Amino acid sequence: MTRAIALRIVLALALAGCGVHSDVSRTLGARCDSADECEDRCLPPGATFPGGFCSVSCESTGDCPADASCIDVEAGVCLFDCIDDRECEFLGAGWHCVGISLREDTTRRMTVCLGG
């Protein structure tokens, strides 16, 4: 019995460390084809946003949900922060961790999940 509990705890900790965002929603991260599928805007499916991507228009990172940054693409949109490609796998095929300029200061770069 104790061994089973210990195994569950180890498994839960391993899954927590996988970088999967539990906050994928119509606000940020859900797949979309049109704006009516998202709270704010839909970044249409294509090479940059495989499968489409619900996002929020922004001027600075403070406008974005937690664990996301305001990036200088599409006139400013929020994208999930990442450290490496594994942290973008939850979005599906074609997503990678890429360094790109912040909207509020284009001389600074942040790594975010983006297609390509």
pLDDT digits (tens, 9 = 90+) for 12-48: 333 334 444 457 899 999 999 999 999 999 999 999 9
Residue 24 confidence (pLDDT): 87
- Looking at the chain, the whole-number percentage of residues with pLDDT higher than 70 is 80
DSSP characters for the chain?
A: -HHHHHHHHHHHHHHHTT---TT-BTTTB---SSGGGSSSEEE-SSSSSTT-EEE-B-SSGGGSPTTEEEESSTTSEEEEB-SSGGGGGGG-TTEEEEEEEBSS-TTSEEEEEEE-
Q: pTM of the predicted model, to two decimals?
A: 0.80
C-alpha 4, offset from chain centre: 34
Selected residue with higher pLDDT from 79 and 11: 79
CA distance 106 to 92: 28
